[in-house]
Amino acid sequence: MAKKYVYLFREADGNNKALFGGKGANLAQMTKLGMPVPPGFTITTEACTKYYEDGRKISKEILDEVFATLAIVEKEANKKFGDPENPFLFSVRSGARASMPGMMDTILNLGLTDISVEGLAKQTANPRFAYDCYRRFIQMYSDVVTGIGKDFFGRILDDLKEEKGVKLDTELTAEDLKELIAKFKAFYFKSQGEEFPQDPKKQLEGAIEAVFRSWDNPRAIVYRRMNDIPNNWGTAVNVQAMVFGNMGETSGTGVAFTRNPSTGEKKLYGEFLMNAQGEDVVAGIRTPETIDYLKQINPDVYNQFVEICGKLEAFFHDMQDMEFTIEKGKLYMLQTRNGKRTAVAAINIAVDLVKEGLCTEQEALLKIEPKQLDDLLHLQFDQKAIKKMKPIATGLPASPGAACGKIAFTAEEATRRTANGENVVLVRLETSPEDIEGMNVAKGVLTARGGLTSHAAVVARGMGRCCVTGCSALKINEEKGTLTINGKVYTSEDTLSFDGSTGNVYEGAVPMIKPDISGNFSTIMSWANKYRKLKVRANADTPADAATAFGYGAEGIGLCRTEHMFFEKDRIAAMREMIISDTVEQRKTALAKILPMQRADFIGIYKEMHGNPVTIRFLDPPLHEFLPTKAEDIAALAEDMGIPVEKLKDKIASLHEFNPMLGHRGCRLSVTFPEIAEMQTRAVIEAATEVNKAGGHVKAEIMIPLVGEVKELRYVKNVVVRTAETVMAETGIKVDFSVGTMIEIPRAAITADEIATEAEFFSFGTNDLTQMTFGFSRDDAGKFLEDYYEKKIFESDPFKKLDQVGVGALVKIAAEKGKSVRPDIKLGICGEHGGDPSTIEFCHKVGLTYVSCSPYRVPIAILAAAHAAIKNS
Amino acid sequence: MAKKYVYLFREADGNNKALFGGKGANLAQMTKLGMPVPPGFTITTEACTKYYEDGRKISKEILDEVFATLAIVEKEANKKFGDPENPFLFSVRSGARASMPGMMDTILNLGLTDISVEGLAKQTANPRFAYDCYRRFIQMYSDVVTGIGKDFFGRILDDLKEEKGVKLDTELTAEDLKELIAKFKAFYFKSQGEEFPQDPKKQLEGAIEAVFRSWDNPRAIVYRRMNDIPNNWGTAVNVQAMVFGNMGETSGTGVAFTRNPSTGEKKLYGEFLMNAQGEDVVAGIRTPETIDYLKQINPDVYNQFVEICGKLEAFFHDMQDMEFTIEKGKLYMLQTRNGKRTAVAAINIAVDLVKEGLCTEQEALLKIEPKQLDDLLHLQFDQKAIKKMKPIATGLPASPGAACGKIAFTAEEATRRTANGENVVLVRLETSPEDIEGMNVAKGVLTARGGLTSHAAVVARGMGRCCVTGCSALKINEEKGTLTINGKVYTSEDTLSFDGSTGNVYEGAVPMIKPDISGNFSTIMSWANKYRKLKVRANADTPADAATAFGYGAEGIGLCRTEHMFFEKDRIAAMREMIISDTVEQRKTALAKILPMQRADFIGIYKEMHGNPVTIRFLDPPLHEFLPTKAEDIAALAEDMGIPVEKLKDKIASLHEFNPMLGHRGCRLSVTFPEIAEMQTRAVIEAATEVNKAGGHVKAEIMIPLVGEVKELRYVKNVVVRTAETVMAETGIKVDFSVGTMIEIPRAAITADEIATEAEFFSFGTNDLTQMTFGFSRDDAGKFLEDYYEKKIFESDPFKKLDQVGVGALVKIAAEKGKSVRPDIKLGICGEHGGDPSTIEFCHKVGLTYVSCSPYRVPIAILAAAHAAIKNS
């Protein structure tokens, strides 16, 4: 049997959005619920996929099926498509599996021609209406099918209105519109070299193809990438009999939500226009009425609409976003879908729905998009104020939140001026580990270079600091202390504002608000905690971060990066002394200076975590990151350290690496300098001893980074265990500690069964694992990834959303191999991906023990973990 | 039943070298063949492994077994170990599975004490002999067991000889020796704080442990790494009754080969000393006699020895290297093994053995170490001359051969001076792609930095150019044009010589010779061709390289790197113009200039390959490699190109990458700039058309590098196929071409089933695959790999010998996945590993179609492929 590509609304399966798209499935549901839906049919998403497979051609088979189905609709309505006397008109709309609002195109009034428009005029006894329909059709068809911009027609319309001395479209007479149609058609002929199509079947064919084609337009591609929608889903096409909101003052059209999409308040919310077609509502020429006005002018229709809203909410168990049309006082439903909503509304609606008995807690949780919670956890600009401002530049939305302050060009300057009570934003070409203190004190970080996973972005997200990166419009002259944007020069006295959720940069100060997190937020979190299986930990390097994470519900620290501690001013000197040591003894002397500081850090972190496990990663970055690069800094440091400049220069040169990402770092440092691992172990165990003495119960997990071979881990683990035993023998106090490794080198994943013989836990370092599995440096990939999206080679950034096919396969292999050797092995993930909902679902399925993410993403991860458990139960 | 660790020679299995070591197994064989072997026993390699497992302790179980077995030997010989009247003395020698000559230690005369030495004197009626044995024992035992250097005893001996006014040891009287023993023992007491051990059992225990321990001494570790011997094999220990070559003038000891190990000539070859123990032969104080002299002084023993030699060759089917002792006119065999030999000898012996019917062709092939062939394919220093010279510095043996010439400090200088008829060697800090022309004309390349897989090393090996890298003793001042080694300054007028097989650097000119490759070489190659299954191709970038490769028997080109062509002087200008283009049109204009040059290259290469397949890899390196880095070079280039310096600087800055290895290179370039792939395809196809017109039959294989995702390959393949079809439509001539990819990104291996849907062949780029699987940059790993060897984390350089556990697992996965989708997929390897014999065996087992290596390694690969096929048939 041939595959069926076209279904009447009443035939379609309302639960199969994959096949019928969201719009088509819901039209089927409403039809079956007996609601007033104009008749029509849906062409499936498979037809779209076939269109692309067939080299962008609609096959004869599908077209035949379309016209056969159309014939049924004609017969039942007793009207003929293309009938010159009484033409049966249709709308053609796209409808993908996931809602992609505004991304694709719609055509109304399809089926009108020079002849049938006269039939319509006669039949409705309303020539003005008929001409209005036809001119709208020509406009939309030309735009959507042939790509003539709407503006051209808009200008012709404006010229005519001026000529006629009228302000509103509705003031044009039938004759005026007839004249307009002639002008439109002339323009069409001039630009296309052929007449506007007069065969309704050709019109329909063109419209269907245009919808298919629109799936692949640039804004649709960008939208899909931003929303993780696969390219191969395709869109369905809905062909529906027209009803007319523009048949006079008893007709109208509008959109409405069953609840307030901004606040979640349970109150019908929407707007409509009388004597209008859909596009007029959003066009903004006439001011729409609120839905309450409908109650006044037509209480019957209003009541019918309210009843339908109730039925729809009850059926879909969610807030609905609907389109409707009133034709001569009769209500028609054109669309319903679960409405988009703000984070606040999402939470309030979810809690309300459960209270109202409309859905279960699990269902309610699934209605909240985890990523949305981000909006609730950071300072935000006042959206009302923002609407009136124009950005002066736009970069990448690297870390959410809003920042506002005077410009600081260096980290030192930021630190100094903040100490003096100023609010500053740090503006740099790019950031480096030396900038960490300045980033921490600044209100936000703005860089000219770097992607979403650049140093600035990663560190800022970890701190919950607002950050915009890769803002290439910035021309920074650090020496002069100037920033130039589009020719305008800003100095350290000027104030900038920027939005880490949009990447927009504004001149001056934008007013800010802190979103109100109502009690419903914690209700949602408690439900999520009830259903999730995955534990959620945080990546935190300082007691302050640990406290934030614990406050948000983190159940431990999955990644404490010890090196960040070394960059702080009072420590980097000892670190540098360690690096330039010539002998083991010199190195040990320098390390001894670092020991008490590191011990103090760990004490602070342990205390904040209240007995939850703390995974401490040993020194990871290449040592040259701790040394200066500029000649004057090197000279100053040499003097500070009392060594010849040449010696320091030689040391720096000897540490230079061609590919530092693949260089002397991670456990390789401890292999060369085991005394580093000794010192760090001592700090971990001594700190735990101190906290335990005060009644704590520290669970320390020592994590050896960048292991690729079990013998590396064994070597370093031996150093760790020996040192820990020495310390415990000294103090006589036992400490609960384990030793594990990051799985971040492909070879570690492949040989995970060998590695698990030594490792008591694995933590997947998916940042590095992604870099090495793809052979991409995350600092460099930004340069070509745009080409990859554009050419549809990649659908999403593999540094944000885990590549499940490649990197994920390695994670799966490693998890299985690890468990085969050590069935109770603890498995976690601590890369940037740990806070990404789709990755969290993957982690749930693969059977990891926990995910770890930045403190500010803990609530997102908790909700995503609950989603994963509910979806896969 | 408890495991047996100790076997009498007659009990041991002579074929089980893994358990008994080479020496022990062969002693067992000789014993079974009825040859005069002093009795004794072998302690197995498993005992050694257990020793290390038990924390460097010999278990009581093993010691008990040793003494029980010793008791059997005592009983059969009717002599007692430690008997004060007639002491039964033993030698203790190591014996690993693979021969490790000189790597481990031997103790003779074990069992002597202050008391039993007197018994021995009386028993043999030869006090001088007895004291001589004892003083030798004290010397060897002290050196091997307690680590007191031999030199200390040597000095005491020398002092005594001076005192006594004698020159030779043999001139010392019994009384002198007695005095010497007293001095030795006093020194032992002084350095050890205890008396020299007087309990023979303790002596034996100490000696056995010393042999076990010697397995782990630094020179043994280095030797194993150089010879691919696993650390976990362990050594056996052979305890054998002493026979004495120092019992007077009818006694003697010597070593002999059944054939000449330098030339392969079938003639007994060896040397011996009368009245001496083993060590004296090699000590060089007395000049040994040739084996012919034995014929004169004791023809019976000589004839018996000749007969034994014949039997041993017939039994082992190979040239033997033997140790023997004559005690009072009676011959004893102490050891036999297959003898080490030069490459020339190896070939001649193999051919002779087959002629003599002593072995089959397959067996003969296995007797030649493939790596040895290297020595035959490059110019060499005259070894006689070398012996008299002292190296002034030593670096890494990066590419074999010998180089001699005046110093050139830059590639340009090398090119210029060579054009003027000078012989120069290129001496640089490190090389970069810009140096390629200078490297090509120089007699050899010497660098201060870089490892065995640095740019200099890889390029030089490809060219067959002698190269020494990482010679850190060089202090180069390029500006002044001086090279300083150990304080001595050399200028461009000075001549250096260096040896790419040893890494040694000499002052002045060392005489050179070209090894004589006799007809036997081609006999061996023809046998290898008969048995191998793997095809062998070469990596060649120029017609000259292709010709060399074809001459050596290459069956195609597995890797033609197109970028090397772009670095040549007349081309780099067009390349640079392409890189700094702002628009597609500019870029196409620049590419149009490169097209005819590239086409000409391909024509030359196709012609040299005579219809064999040629795999052409499209542009791979990051573009910044083509641009200068020094300020003055940038200024000069800007002027050349007629563009502002600032513009060029900006372009260079925008191309800068943090980790170029993981940056914008490989197929990523063609995704961004498809016009590059278009131009290269055009060159490939047009060149093939031209050669085909002249009667050729070109098989072009277009290889897309650095693919990690099938959609990348699909995108570039579409460009290639479209362009190729356009060209073929233009000319009307079909070209046999296919499109495949490198598998060099871990993700490509993991998703090879997806990639094989587009790729018609895979070529494993194991250099990059190793880098990314381990997360090592080969340019940087040299800094820490030494620590890895020392700490026994790595046994060999993963860039030289394929890591079969990790990288090999990915190769295997990819080969299997590739075949699952495309059963006839062509599979090759083109990394540096393609010329490594153990990797070649791996490739054979995994079922690859071919290996590809540098032209000068083709014969090695052919032989190794034959080995693989024979060993695994």
At B454-480, the pLDDT tens digits run 778 867 876 768 899 989 899 999 888
3 state DSSP class of B356: coil
Inter-chain contact B773–A772, Cβ cutoff 8 Å?
Answer: yes
What number is the average pLDDT over the span B196-220?
A: 91
Rg (C-alpha) for chain A, rounded Å, is 32
> Which of A123-137, B80-94, B457-471 is the least confident region?
B457-471
Inter-chain contact B706–A775, Cβ cutoff 8 Å?
Answer: yes
Inter-chain contact B809–A750, Cβ cutoff 8 Å?
Answer: yes
CA distances from A430 to A410, A457, A476 (A): 11, 10, 10
Which residues 781-810 on chain A approach chain B with CB closer than 8 angstroms? 781, 783-784, 787-788, 791-794, 803, 805-807, 809-810
With contacts defined as CB-CB under 8 Å, which chain B residues touch A646?
none
Q: A102 falls in which pLDDT band (50, 70, 90)?
A: low
Cα A687 off chain centre by: 39
- Which strand (E) or helix (H) includes residue A704? strand A699-704
pLDDT tens digits, one per residue of B588-621: 999 999 999 999 999 999 999 999 999 999 999 9
Bin B421: left if φ > 0, else alpha if -120 < ψ < 50, else beta.
left
Model confidence at B441: pLDDT above 80: yes
With contacts defined as CB-CB under 8 Å, which chain B residues touch A810?
746, 750
Model confidence at B102: pLDDT above 60: no
Question: Angle between the A150-164 and A127-141 helix axes, to the nearest 10 degrees?
Answer: 150
Q: What is the pLDDT of residue B702?
A: 98
Model confidence at A167: pLDDT above 60: yes
| Pair A89, A26: CB distance under 8 Å | no
Q: What is the pLDDT of residue B394?
A: 92
Tell me the nearest-neighbour CA distance from B127 into chain A, angstroms: 53
With contacts defined as CB-CB under 8 Å, which chain B residues touch A809?
750-751
Q: What is the pLDDT of residue B515?
A: 61
Tell me the nearest-neighbour CA distance from A634 into chain B, angstroms: 21
Q: A462 falls in which pLDDT band (50, 70, 90)?
A: low
Cα A262 off chain centre by: 19
**Selection from B223, B238, B200 nearest residue B88 by Cα:** B200
Inter-chain contact B708–A777, Cβ cutoff 8 Å?
Answer: no
| Pair B418, B407: CB distance under 8 Å | no
Q: Of the candidates A775, A783, A792, which has its C-beta nearest B708's C-beta?
A: A775
Given A455, A564, A624, A833, which residue is catalytic? A455
Inter-chain contact B664–A794, Cβ cutoff 8 Å?
Answer: no
Q: What is the pLDDT of residue B525?
A: 94
Q: How far apart are the first and last CA of chain A?
A: 36
3 state DSSP class of B120: helix
CB contact A661 to B (< 8 Å): yes
**Selection from A253, A280, A117, A120 nearest residue A184 by Cα:** A117
Inter-chain contact A772–B768, Cβ cutoff 8 Å?
Answer: no
Tell me the nearest-neighbour CA distance from B713 into chain A, angstroms: 9
- If one compares A36 and B501, the residue with the highest pLDDT of the two is A36
The secondary structure of residue B59, as a DSSP letter, is -
Inter-chain contact B793–A712, Cβ cutoff 8 Å?
Answer: yes
Inter-chain contact A806–B751, Cβ cutoff 8 Å?
Answer: yes
Q: A283 falls in which pLDDT band (50, 70, 90)?
A: low
Q: How far apart are the first and last CA of chain B?
A: 36
Q: Of the candidates B746, B784, B803, which has its C-beta nearest A671's C-beta?
A: B784
The β-bridge partners of B393 are: B505
Active site annotation includes A624: no
Q: What is the pLDDT of residue B856?
A: 86
Give the span between the Cα atoms of A520 and A804, in whole angstroms.
34
Model confidence at A525: pLDDT above 70: yes
Inter-chain contact A750–B806, Cβ cutoff 8 Å?
Answer: yes
With contacts defined as CB-CB under 8 Å, which chain B residues touch A785?
none
Q: What is the pLDDT of residue B281?
A: 63
- If one compares B5 and A281, the residue with the highest pLDDT of the two is B5
With contacts defined as CB-CB under 8 Å, which chain A residues touch B754?
805
Bin A781: left if φ > 0, else alpha if -120 < ψ < 50, else beta.
alpha
Q: What is the pLDDT of residue A589?
A: 93
pLDDT tens digits, one per residue of B23-70: 999 999 999 999 999 999 999 999 999 999 999 999 999 999 999 999
Tell me the nearest-neighbour CA distance from A528 into chain B, angstroms: 35
Q: Of the candidates A662, A773, A792, which has its C-beta nearest B746's C-beta?
A: A773
With contacts defined as CB-CB under 8 Å, which chain A residues touch B807?
747
Q: What is the pLDDT of residue B500?
A: 87
Best residue in B776, B792, B803 for a mutation probing chain A (most A CBs within 10 Å)? B776
Active site annotation includes A455: yes
Inter-chain contact B794–A709, Cβ cutoff 8 Å?
Answer: yes
Model confidence at A500: pLDDT above 60: yes
Q: What is the pLDDT of residue A276?
A: 85
With contacts defined as CB-CB under 8 Å, which chain B residues touch A671?
784, 787-788, 791, 793
Q: What is the pLDDT of residue A427?
A: 96
- If one compares A226 and A727, the residue with the highest pLDDT of the two is A727
Comparing alpha-carbon positions, the chain B residue that sits nearest to A673 is B787
The β-bridge partners of B41 are: B8, B239
With contacts defined as CB-CB under 8 Å, which chain B residues touch A777?
657-659, 661-663
Inter-chain contact A746–B772, Cβ cutoff 8 Å?
Answer: yes
Model confidence at A63: pLDDT above 90: yes
CB contact A834 to B (< 8 Å): no
Residue A842, Cβ neighbours under 10 Å: how many?
22
Rg (C-alpha) for chain B, rounded Å, is 32
- What value does the mean pLDDT of chain B take? 91
| Pair B821, B751: CB distance under 8 Å | no
Q: B870 falls in which pLDDT band (50, 70, 90)?
A: very high
3 state DSSP class of B431: coil
Inter-chain contact A708–B775, Cβ cutoff 8 Å?
Answer: yes
Inter-chain contact B747–A660, Cβ cutoff 8 Å?
Answer: no
Model confidence at A284: pLDDT above 70: no
Inter-chain contact B784–A711, Cβ cutoff 8 Å?
Answer: no
Comparing alpha-carbon positions, the chain B residue that sits nearest to A653 is B449
CB contact B646 to A (< 8 Å): no
Q: What is the pLDDT of residue A453?
A: 59
**Selection from B208, B219, B257, B246 nearest residue B91 by Cα:** B208
Inter-chain contact A659–B664, Cβ cutoff 8 Å?
Answer: no
| One-character DSSP codes across A213-273 | HHTTSHHHHHHHHHTT--GGG-EEEEEEE---TTSSTT-EEEEEESS-TTT--SS-EEEEE
CA distances from A410 to A434, A505, A570 (A): 10, 19, 19
3 state DSSP class of B25: helix
pLDDT tens digits, one per residue of B720-776: 999 999 999 999 999 999 999 999 999 999 999 999 999 999 999 999 999 999 999
| Pair A561, A620: CB distance under 8 Å | yes
Residues with Cβ within 8 Å of residue A188, at least 6 apart in sequence: A138, A142, A146, A148, A195, A196
pLDDT tens digits, one per residue of A538-551: 999 999 999 989 98
- What value does the mean pLDDT of chain A take? 91
What number is the average pLDDT over the span A80-95?
A: 93
Residue A502 phi, psi (nearest 5): -120, -20
Q: Name the most confidently modeled range: B235-239, B784-788, B854-858.
A: B235-239
Burial class (CB in 10 A: 0-12, 13-18, 19+), A854: buried
Given B133, B466, B467, B830, which residue is catalytic? B830
| Pair B220, B100: CB distance under 8 Å | yes
Residue A121, Cβ neighbours under 10 Å: how many?
19
Q: B226 falls in which pLDDT band (50, 70, 90)?
A: low
Percent of chain B with pLDDT over 70: 97
Residues with Cβ within 8 Å of residue A803, at least 6 apart in sequence: A770, A773, A774, B747
Percent of chain A with pLDDT over 90: 67
| Pair A260, A340: CB distance under 8 Å | no
**Selection from B714, B640, B652, B723 nearest residue B681 by Cα:** B723
Residues with Cβ within 8 Å of residue A496, at least 6 apart in sequence: A404, A405, A406, A407, A425, A427, A446, A490, A505, A506, A507, A508
**Selection from B91, B380, B123, B141 nearest residue B253 by Cα:** B91
Which residues 668-687 on chain A approach chain B with CB closer than 8 angstroms? 668, 671-672
Model confidence at B284: pLDDT above 60: no
Q: What is the pLDDT of residue B103?
A: 57
Best residue in B671, B743, B773, B778 for a mutation probing chain A (most A CBs within 10 Å)? B773
Give the span between the Cα atoms of A409 and A428, in whole angstroms.
6
The secondary structure of residue A146, as a DSSP letter, is I
Model confidence at B235: pLDDT above 60: yes
Tokens 């005592």 identify what position?
B74
**Selection from B553, B560, B551, B561 nearest residue B535 by Cα:** B553
pLDDT tens digits, one per residue of A624-665: 989 988 888 899 889 888 889 998 998 888 888 889 999 999
3 state DSSP class of A727: helix
Tell me the nearest-neighbour CA distance from B663 into chain A, angstroms: 6
**Selection from B521, B562, B862 nearest residue B851 by Cα:** B862
Q: B212 falls in which pLDDT band (50, 70, 90)?
A: very high
Q: Of the candidates B715, B772, B774, which has its C-beta nearest A793's C-beta?
A: B715
Tell me the nearest-neighbour CA distance from B769 into chain A, angstroms: 9
With contacts defined as CB-CB under 8 Å, which chain B residues touch A772?
662, 746, 772-773, 775
Q: Of the candidates B659, B664, B784, which has its C-beta nearest A659's C-beta?
A: B659
Rounded to two decimals, the pTM is: 0.80
Given A309, A667, A830, A853, which residue is catalytic? A830
ipTM tops the 0.90 cut:
no
Inter-chain contact A747–B806, Cβ cutoff 8 Å?
Answer: yes
Q: What is the pLDDT of residue B565?
A: 77
The β-bridge partners of B703 are: B617, B740
Give the span between the Cα atoms of A571 and A694, in whole angstroms.
27
Best residue in A676, A713, A776, A804 for a mutation probing chain B (most B CBs within 10 Å)? A776
Tokens 């220990």 identify what position?
B237
Residue A418 phi, psi (nearest 5): -65, -40
The β-bridge partners of B490 are: B483
